[in-house]
Amino acid sequence: MIVSMKKRMFLVMTVASLILSSCGGGGGRPQFGDNEYPVTTVGTQSSETQTTYPATIKGVQDVQISPKVAGFITQVNVKEGQTVSAGQVLFVIDNVTYQAQVRQAQASVNTAKASLNTAKLSYENAQKLHENGVIGDFELQQATNQYEQAKATVAQAEALLASNKEMLSYCYVKSPAAGVVGTLPYKVGALVSTGNVLTTVSNNSSMEVYFSVTEKDALEMSKGEGGQNAAVSKFPPVKLKLADGTLYNLDGTVTKMSGVIDAATGSVQMIALFQNPQRVLKSGGSGAIVIPHSNSSAIIIPQSAVSEVQNKKFVYLLGADNKVKYSEIQVAPQNDGMNYMVTGGLKAGDKYVTNGITKLSDGMEIVPITPERYQQKIDEQAKAMTAGDIVGAMKK
């Protein structure tokens, strides 16, 4: 009993699949016993397509913070992800030695100034004595030289003081720009040198998204708009698909195109600017740039009417003598999974076979019918398989 039921279920599924296959379009064709094939005329329509490019997100200004002096970190004044302003102190490096050097240099300046004051008094006194004929030119010149030497000594001491103060200021590592603090790999007590990166400050009020287009696309854009700068200025607004697959809620503007082609990849780098008021975008993130394309006279054909051989695409065009010709076409690389946008090989007014193409061969003569009549024939064939036929099959 159980085996019989299984057999009946198998028969029902088999008959149902036959009906479904007869109703399908695709490359196959129901067994009509005639030579009628659906044919339609190529027309144009408005089309919206899009192109996506892998992209990398960076802050408009990503600044690596490194110390200018070596030493132990004594203070870390920020946290990861904290917003900082330009000039804000981020780290403090042990500065006892540098403070001592500043004090020593200041003392040297004070000593030099005292010597200068003494030399000045001697010079002024020598001038008066020379005017009264008490001393000669030699003594006056000697006093003058001592005065000039004292002034030079003061200048030298002040320069050393300024240098030591600058070295001391390097112990207070400041942010050169406003932005958000990145990771903090070094903590208090760590010994750092000028080659260490303490953190990165990223200005993420707006973000630059880097992507690359092919050399061919870049040439077409530049030629079509009359130059690279014109192509960038007329570039349509772009969208950003985030790593989770969602679209960023603000459109971006393409602002830059590299003037150099990457020899390794044959691509040209472009940069789109996105505002980031809610700080959703993070420097170092990834995504995809989505570029929309509008075409008011696009040729769209169903994929079921296209056969593919060695990455080339073909359709069967109908000639005036009702013979079909196996013709290659070119299509846009992006599609919706159901249709192709034809870029070459077809023009408005051409006629092509829409269904049953696997039964055709180049030069074959057919009887063209409308797609509506073709669907009507499928419906009629499906109705011919009555419920009695199914029951009869089940009894067998």
* 141 located within any domain: yes
Determine the Cα–Cα distance for residues 292 and 243; give it in Å rounded to an integer: 19
> CA nearest 26: which of 300, 301, 305?
305
pLDDT attached to residue 25: 46
Determine the Cα–Cα distance for residues 154 and 116; give it in Å rounded to an integer: 7
Residue 5 reports pLDDT greater than 50? no
Determine the Cα–Cα distance for residues 391 and 389; give it in Å rounded to an integer: 5
* 334 located within any domain: yes
pLDDT attached to residue 350: 93
* 21 located within any domain: yes
Chain CA centroid to CA 353, Å: 42
- One domain for residues 102 and 128: yes
pLDDT attached to residue 388: 47
Kindly indicate the confidence band of residue 8, based on its pLDDT and cuts at 50, 70 and 90.
Answer: very low
* 199 located within any domain: no
Kindly indicate the confidence band of residue 332, based on its pLDDT and cuts at 50, 70 and 90.
Answer: confident
- One domain for residues 216 and 273: yes
* 198 located within any domain: no
- One domain for residues 186 and 253: no
- One domain for residues 23 and 112: no
Kindly indicate the confidence band of residue 143, based on its pLDDT and cuts at 50, 70 and 90.
Answer: very high
Kindly indicate the confidence band of residue 167, based on its pLDDT and cuts at 50, 70 and 90.
Answer: very high
* 367 located within any domain: yes
Per-residue pLDDT tens for 304-314? 999 999 889 99
Helix, strand, or coil (residue 133): coil
Kindly indicate the confidence band of residue 112, based on its pLDDT and cuts at 50, 70 and 90.
Answer: very high
- One domain for residues 85 and 187: yes
Kindly indicate the confidence band of residue 27, based on its pLDDT and cuts at 50, 70 and 90.
Answer: low
Residue 54 reports pLDDT greater than 80? yes
Kindly indicate the confidence band of residue 149, based on its pLDDT and cuts at 50, 70 and 90.
Answer: very high
> CA nearest 170: which of 66, 68, 63?
68
Average pLDDT estimate for 70-79: 95
Residue 303 reports pLDDT greater than 60? yes
- One domain for residues 289 and 316: no
pLDDT attached to residue 28: 63
Residue 188 reports pLDDT greater than 90? yes
The two structure tokens encoding residue 124 = 């002024």
**221-235, 275-289, 328-342: least confidently modelled range:** 221-235
CATH number at residue 364: 2.40.420.20
* 331 located within any domain: yes
**1-15, 23-37, 160-174, 276-290: least confidently modelled range:** 1-15
- One domain for residues 159 and 106: yes
Where a domain ends, among 192, 215, 244? 192
pLDDT attached to residue 395: 52
- One domain for residues 150 and 81: yes
- Cβ distance 385 to 11 under 8 Å? no
Burial class of residue 344 (count of CB atoms within 10 Å of its CB; 0-12, 13-18, 19+)? exposed
Average pLDDT estimate for 353-361: 91
- Cβ distance 316 to 357 under 8 Å? yes
Residue 293 reports pLDDT greater than 50? yes
pLDDT attached to residue 108: 96
**Highest-scoring range by mean pLDDT, 25-39, 60-74, 281-295:** 60-74
Higher-confidence position of 15 and 214: 214
> CA nearest 307: which of 367, 354, 368, 351?
354
The two structure tokens encoding residue 257 = 């195109």
Within a 13 Å sphere around the CA of 296, how many CA atoms are in the beta-carbon half?
A: 0
Residue 389 reports pLDDT greater than 60? no
- One domain for residues 176 and 149: yes
> CA nearest 327: which of 315, 319, 318?
315
CATH number at residue 272: 2.40.30.170
What is the total count of domains within the chain?
Answer: 3
- One domain for residues 233 and 167: no
- One domain for residues 174 and 282: no
Where a domain ends, among 168, 192, 216? 192
- One domain for residues 87 and 23: no
Burial class of residue 186 (count of CB atoms within 10 Å of its CB; 0-12, 13-18, 19+)? middle
Where a domain ends, among 142, 166, 192? 192
pLDDT attached to residue 46: 75
Which helix (H) or strand (E) covers residue 263, if one does?
none
Share of the chain above pLDDT 90, in %: 56
The two structure tokens encoding residue 3 = 């085996």
Determine the Cα–Cα distance for residues 172 and 90; give it in Å rounded to an integer: 7
The residue segments making up the domain with residue 221 are 51-60+205-293
- Cβ distance 298 to 341 under 8 Å? yes
Higher-confidence position of 28 and 18: 28
> CA nearest 270: which of 278, 283, 261, 280?
261
* 197 located within any domain: no
Helix, strand, or coil (residue 238): strand
pLDDT attached to residue 222: 79
